[in-house]
Amino acid sequence: MPFMPTRPILGSPMLTGAVVGGAVLAAALAGCASTTQHATTAAAPASASASTAVPSKADCAGLATWNKRGQTAVKALYADTGAVTADAQANNSKAVAAAGRKLTSDAIAAATLPVPPVAAGPWKKLTAAYAAAGTALARGDATGAVPQLQEGNTAIGAFSSATARCISAGS
């Protein structure tokens, strides 16, 4: 399974044909600065697919409550995709498969949480996409994982954008 040793620029044409493009893209997770940055930070990027409506105060309060458990799940997904990236860059296919199994497990665990009151659709998409990507990686199908990683990244961008509106609205 060939891996590219360097990180492509997000949005570059290099990502379309690269096996590791999706794994490297996963590390960036919609522009987050690190694998420990929380998905509901105000600095989260806007997503064209996310609604521009400001969530209600009640939904934002519900998100704060949900976040007490959800934050751990989001951080686990960041860590898992970071591990996939590091292992792919090291050209370590056994470690990529192991990281894929962990990504699948953590995505399934995240999907078992109650659905957040804000950005429920993107949350469901990102957990399903990352579970599918992890499954593909675990079976050695890095090429099959790329579209799922990209879908997960798009969904987490939409989730981050929507949840950041609670922060920016001061709720």
**Looking at residue 166, what is its pLDDT?**
86
Going by C-beta distance under 8 Å and a sequence separation of 6 or more, which residues neighbour residue 22? 15, 133, 142, 145, 146, 147, 148, 149, 150
**Looking at residue 24, what is its pLDDT?**
42
pTM (predicted TM-score): 0.70
Q: How far apart are CA 104 and CA 61, in angstroms?
A: 29
Which regions of the chain are under pLDDT 50? Answer: 1-51, 171
Q: Are 106 and 73 in contact (CB under 8 A)?
A: yes
Cα–Cα separations (whole angstroms), residue 120 to 83, 93, 116: 26, 34, 5
**Looking at residue 52, what is its pLDDT?**
58
| Share of residues in the chain with pLDDT > 70 (%) | 68
Cα–Cα separations (whole angstroms), residue 102 to 5, 107, 128, 170: 22, 8, 14, 35
Q: How far apart are CA 135 and CA 149, in angstroms?
A: 11
**Looking at residue 150, what is its pLDDT?**
93
Instruction: Please report where in the chains the tokens 């996963």 appear, as a residue.
Output: 26
